Amino acid sequence: MRIKFLLIVICISLSSCLMKPETVLVSPDEAISLEFSLNEQGKPFYTVFFKNKSIIKESSLGFDFENSKPFLDNFKVIKSSTTAFNETWQMPWGEQLDVVNNYNELRVELQEKSDLKRKLNIVFKVYNDGVGFRYEFPKQDNFSEAFITEENTQFNLTEDYKTFWIPGDWDIYEHLYSTTKLSEIDASVKRNHPSLGQTYIPENAVNTPVTLVGKNGIHLSFHEAALVNYSGMTLKVDTDKLSFKSSLVGSRNTTYKVKRTLPFHTPWRTIQITDNAPDLIQSNLIVNLNEPNKLGDVSWFTPMKYTGVWWEMHLGKSSWDYGMEMVDGKWTDTGKAHGKHGATTENVKRFIDFSAKNNIGGVLVEGWNTGWERWIGFEDREGVFDFVTPYPDYNLDEVTAYAKEKGVEIIMHHETSAATATYEKQQDVAYSLMQKYGMHAVKSGYVGKILPKGEYHHGQYMVNQYNNAAIKAAKYQVAVNAHEPIKATGLRRTYPNIISREGLRGQEFNAWSSDGGNPPEHLPIVAFTRMLAGPIDYTPGIFNIKFDDYKKNNQVNTTLAHQLALYVVIYSPVQMAADLVEHYEANPKPLQFIKDVGVDWSETKVLDGEVGEFVTIARKEHGTGNWFLGSITDENSRVIEIDFSFLDDNQLYEAKIYKDGKNAHWDKNPLDIEFQTIELQRTSKLKFPLAEGGGLAISIKKMN
């Protein structure tokens, strides 16, 4: 392995000859280079080049603190060193088994030239697929506690990129993406979250990942990795200067945004850099920047598909609550049960039977526990939910025993309603209840304004809440799938029990939002934005696309084939078959795909795609060597050509094809689907039409 580390003096003008030497670090394949420099005032800067094109021009680095001078300038380099690193590590489950982690690192140690002579290290890692850097605050005499009021990391761009963005919301990521030029981003007008009315967007900022496409094919995505004990980063947009600047999520309870005792380091600031859209999805930069597995053997969790008592509540067929009343501080059955409660023993058994019959490993049960009568729209939500007491019509012993007998696992549900004190207090008891029943996965939820008041979902307080809950859950062999979560930053490498999360506008919006739901382009954008951060619990597989029996004014805005393709396109080790049992039973042919499709992959090949237009992904199932392929398109129909050269040599496969019918259209004819079974091999090349809002799903099984 080769590492290039140059100390060069740039003399563009006489005065610049007096500037400090620059440090250049290149990626292992030498396509990306990063320069670090201090100007005459001792202000730190970095630049990034990709294939000799400037990507990030001089951008400064620093911090503002409460009650002390900022880290702005007046620095000198006291030491700098480089190292090269190359390893291949394995995911316990994931998009692929083997992950190559190959980078060159530069560590620059800075110290203020006068006054307190405080120290700051900046560590840069340059990979073939991008750049990561973070700040380290080393242990030192004159600086023991940092009260950070802002982080000032600039990303000064060189082009007015086409940008795929959501607003810099401090509470939720459940927004539709906008596609505009960087110079036309206006986050103030894009707040679309009809039912989750809480949000705080103080400035023209975007949330990450934000993905940019350049005129000459350069693709960039900005995000962060290893968000631990720090605030989430939004990116403030300067539409004139074409730049982003870090803007941390704050709190109304403190005048600072992050408080840390030294020594500590920040999360990594990441820039994924590729010259085509598929390689963005293929990038492992975010997980690679996280520390290795700290949990050891996690074989107690198995990736699985799941059904559940869920969509029926979003459609209004049943309800989470039972109709209890609070009497003397205790939830009591006072005879007011309305009879619409969804999580009954009987209903859950129906899902268990259906799952067992269809090669689906799990059943999620929402609304099983007391408290749902007062979970939303109430100011005082502490002490309302109880994570161990079932409603009277739900027999936990009976249900779990029945599930076990059928080889199905019950997935626990903890809706915290963002009442953090109540949840924190009950975690040990709740997770040990799960352990007792042999449940290894919990879906948690954080709907509503955070309690304690003044905190936001994405600030330091909540980052710690989410991370600590997952770390605690691991002690009870429980894996976590959080909704209304903090963003994914690759921590699943360190804590593999962080299996999946929401953190986007999920399928549920199609059931009830008043703005028409998620448009056909939604997931072709998500695949190149949110999905770069990590696994997504989108809850695909709605077959009854229009559900007129329940909601006349809502629908899913894709074809049925598109819904099937999502099992491959969207990665998650827990993948829901979200529709009602009766809707699946009425459609055995497309159900076959859900029955067959894998959830754990040894290889992923992103075959083709353009951000926001379409994407085609093939994944090889871990263990069987069978392949599954998914392709989705936006509101435009198109013909895609698939080259099957990713298949094994000298192997014949049976391919079951699920494709849009001739008249398929996401709105006019979403259920038009065609089925075909053919033989395939490595040399096959086939063309498929995708309808407006359409898709394609193929299962490709080895023939003997």
Positions that interact with ligand NOJ (CB under 6 A) = 310, 366, 415, 445, 447, 483, 502, 506, 508
Count the helices and strands in the chain (H runs, E runs). Answer: 12, 40
Residues 6+ apart with CB under 8 A from 348: 309, 363, 365, 394, 399, 410
Cβ-based nearer residue to ligand NOJ, 224 or 502: 502
* Contact set for Ca ion, span 615-654 (CB under 5 A): none
By a kind-dependent CB cut-off of 5 to 8 A, residue 366 interacts, out of ligand NOJ, Ca ion, none, with ligand NOJ
State the nearest-atom distance from the C-beta of 413 to ligand NOJ, in Å. Answer: 7
412 vs 434: CA distance, rounded Å: 7
CB of 415 to ligand NOJ, least distance (A): 4
Closer residue to Ca ion in complex, CB, 134/483: 483
End-to-end CA distance of the chain: 42
Sheet containing 695-702: give its strands across.
601-610, 614-621, 627-633, 695-702, 653-660, 673-680
Q: How far is the CB of 174 from Ca ion (least distance, A)?
A: 6
> Is the Cβ of residue 258 or residue 410 nearer to ligand NOJ in the bound state?
410
The DSSP annotation for 293-335 comes to: PSS---TT---EEEEEE-HHHHHTSSBS----EEETTEEE--S
Q: Of 506 and 609, which has the nearer Cβ to ligand NOJ?
A: 506
Residues 6+ apart with CB under 8 A from 437: 396, 400, 410
Closest approach of ligand NOJ to the CB of residue 482, in Å: 10
- Name the minimum Å distance from CB 360 to ligand NOJ: 18
Q: Least distance to ligand NOJ from the beta carbon of 361, Å?
A: 19
Query: Distance of CA 383 to CAs 325, 422, 540, 593, Å?
Result: 14, 6, 33, 43
Question: Out of 112, 174, 508, 621, which one is annotated catalytic?
Answer: 508
Q: Give the 3-state secondary structure of 621-650.
A: ECCCCCEEEEEEECCCCEEEEEECCCCCCC
496 binds, among Ca ion, ligand NOJ, none (CB under 5 to 8 A by kind): none
**CB nearer ligand NOJ, residue 306 or residue 310:** 310
**Three state DSSP letters for 204-259:** CEECCCEEEECCCCCEEEEEEECCCCCCCEEEEEECCCCEEEEEECCCCCCCCCEE
Annotation says 521 is catalytic: no
Instruction: Return the one option of Ca ion, ligand NOJ, none that residue 445 interacts with (CB less than 5 to 8 A, by type).
Output: ligand NOJ
Task: Count residues near Ca ion (CB under 5 A).
Answer: 1
CA distances from 234 to 21, 100, 171, 178, 381 (A): 32, 29, 11, 16, 28
Q: Select 138 or 323, whichever has its Cβ closest to ligand NOJ.
A: 323
Give the Cα separation of 311 and 532 in Å (integer): 26
Looking at the Cβ atoms of 498 and 640, the one nearer to ligand NOJ is 498
C-alpha span between 475 and 496 (Å, rounded): 12
CA dist 701 and 430 (Å) reads 41
Residue nearer to ligand NOJ on the CB measure, 366 or 634: 366
For ligand NOJ, which is the closer residue by CB, 409 or 484?
484
Partner whose footprint covers residue 415, from ligand NOJ, Ca ion, none (CB < 5 to 8 Å by kind): ligand NOJ
Shortest distance, position 502 Cβ to ligand NOJ, whole Å = 5
Owner of token pair 């077959």: 543
**Cα separation, 46 vs 153, whole angstroms:** 10
- Secondary structure (3-state) at 269: strand
Rounded Cα distance, 696 and 433, in Å: 42
Torsion over CA of 496, 497, 502 and 504, rounded to 10 degrees? -20
User: Tokens 């003997």 correspond to what residue?
Assistant: 704
Output 484 or 521, the one with its CB closest to ligand NOJ. Answer: 484
Helices 420-437, 460-475: crossing angle, 10 deg rounding: 20
Indicate which of ligand NOJ, Ca ion, none lies near residue 151 (CB less than 5 to 8 Å, by partner kind): none
The residue type of 31 is A
Residue 420 parent element (H or E): helix 420-437
Read off the tokens for 414.
């903890």
Q: Which residue is nearest to Ca ion (CB)?
A: 483
Of the two residues 137 and 310, which places its CB atom closer to ligand NOJ in the complex?
Answer: 310
For Cα atoms 315, 558, 94, give the angle at the middle one, nearest 5 degrees. 90
Answer whether the bond into residue 520 is a cis peptide, omega within 30°. no
Neighbours of 183 (CB within 10 A): 14
Q: How far is the CB of 537 from ligand NOJ (least distance, A)?
A: 8
Report how far Cα 618 is from the mean position of its chain's Cα atoms: 20
What is the smallest separation between the CB atom of 512 and Ca ion, expressed in angstroms? Answer: 11
CB of 375 to ligand NOJ, least distance (A): 8
For residues 456-515, which are near Ca ion according to CB under 5 A?
A: 483
The answer to whether 540 and 306 have CB atoms below 8 angstroms apart is: no
Binding site partner of 448, from Ca ion, ligand NOJ, none, Cβ cut-off 5-8 A by kind: none
Which two structure tokens, joined as six digits, stand for 349? 């058994």
Classify residue 603 as exposed, middle or buried by CB count within 10 Å of its CB (0-12, 13-18, 19+): middle
Q: Please state the closest distance from residue 381 (CB atom) to ligand NOJ, in A.
A: 13
Could you give the CA distance from residue 173 to residue 485 in angstroms, rounded to a whole number?
A: 9
CB 214 → ligand NOJ: shortest distance, Å? 34
Nearer to ligand NOJ, 74 or 344 (CB): 344
Catalytic residues: 508
Contact positions vs Ca ion (CB under 5 A): 483
